[in-house]
Amino acid sequence: MIIQILSNFFDEGYLKKNVDFLISSFFSGSNVAFRREIFKDIGLYDVNCATGEDQDICIRIANSKWELYFQPKAIIGHKCRKTIKAFIKQWYNYGLHHPYIFKKHNLKSLVVYLRKKKMKRGILYKRSIYKKRFPLYVVIFVSPFLVMNLFLLLTILSALLGFNIPAIILGLVTLGIGIYYFKPDIQIKHLWQMIEFIFIRYAVNLALLIGGLLGGAKLKMIYINATLDYTTRDSK
């Protein structure tokens, strides 16, 4: 998820220019202002970006002579989607169109990111594998959500094949990862609200994951999105 990876909790000041654009900071288009001269130097917004146009233009700015400045006092109100269905569709579309940004700003390569134990200055993932001149465009964010679902698939497959003991073991591992993943949402005192949060976060992440796989397939690449798997505690 581009928004999660690139969102920041910085103090006021110029943002650091990162070599790795996938974890460089950017400003959401809903609350940003650019000097007119910038567009003369780097061009206008990319009309081919169905989503992520704000990330794209900030990447281009970061690669130019211009700087990005963060002002925490510049706050606006933003209306979210009114229904769960619309919210899930929104994140599906994010996943569907994120691969275009990666392909536009990268050569064929294999990139694997691992989730950090703790967020530092807004960055939640670190690049662990990077192989240039790879036959395909491949980017994978290894998240608790992804690992949980891989073990879930292995559990179901083992059960269908009649491997009962492996299915039980894999199921217990899946349960353990699930508890870790959903821990921020577990509030026994507010049971119904807890169920709602768990459902929404799982549905959103699944939509994001599926969208990234389908969007990447259309561009002949493998793209596994990062997921919404952190809380504000990670920013401290």
pLDDT exceeds 50 at position 4? no
| Pair of tokens at residue 32 | 């940003």
Q: Residue ranges per domain, the chain?
A: 2-235
For residue 221, give the H/E element and its range. Answer: strand 221-224
Return the pLDDT at 209: 94
Query: What is the spatial distance between Cα 84 and Cα 81, in angstroms, rounded to a whole number?
Result: 7
Return the pLDDT at 137: 92
Return the pLDDT at 10: 60
Q: Tokens 């794209």 map to which residue? A: 56
| Pair of tokens at residue 24 | 């460089």
- Region of 143 (left: φ > 0; alpha: ψ -120 to 50; beta: rest) is beta
Query: What is the spatial distance between Cα 209 and Cα 146, in angstroms, rounded to a whole number?
Result: 8
pLDDT tens digits for range 30-67: 788 899 999 999 999 999 988 888 888 888 888 888 88
pLDDT band at residue 168, thresholds of 50, 70 and 90? Answer: very high
Is this structure's pTM higher than 0.85? no
Average pLDDT over residues 213-230: 87
pLDDT exceeds 60 at position 141? yes
Q: Three-state SS for 163?
A: coil
Q: Which of 7-11, 45-49, 150-154, 186-190 has the lowest mean pLDDT?
A: 7-11
pLDDT exceeds 90 at position 163? yes
pLDDT exceeds 70 at position 83? yes
Looking at per-residue pLDDT, the higher value among 167 and 236 belongs to 167
Looking at per-residue pLDDT, the higher value among 73 and 122 belongs to 73
DSSP string, 69-133: EE-TT-----PPPSSHHHHHHHHHHHHHHHHHHHHHT--SEEEEEEEEEEEETTEEEEEEEEEES
Return the pLDDT at 110: 92
Looking at per-residue pLDDT, the higher value among 190 and 108 belongs to 108
